[in-house]
Amino acid sequence: MPVLGIGSYISYQYMKMGLPYVATDLTVVGILESGHYLFEEKPEQVIDAVLSFLAS
């Protein structure tokens, strides 16, 4: 199953290290200008990442 991980500057590196242990078809996107609240702080970038993932 395809898996999308979207991480902020806080969680991006952890996702890159941890998610490959639980998923093989994996895409990890970093929105490094954001903190804990990605969906509130950078909604356009989150939507772009999700739509791009779903289109692929």
Can you give the pTM of this predicted structure?
A: 0.85
**Phi-psi label, residue 29: left if phi above 0, alpha if psi -120 to 50, beta otherwise:** beta
Among residues 5, 9, 3, which one has the least CA distance to residue 41? 9
Predicted pLDDT at 2: 95
SS3 17: helix
How many domains is the chain built from? 1
Predicted pLDDT at 21: 96
**Phi-psi label, residue 28: left if phi above 0, alpha if psi -120 to 50, beta otherwise:** beta
List, for residues 25-55, the tens digit of each pLDDT value. Answer: 999 999 999 998 999 999 999 999 999 999 9
Lookup result for tokens 């772009």: 48
Give dist(CA 31, CA 42) in Å, integer. Answer: 8
Predicted pLDDT at 3: 96
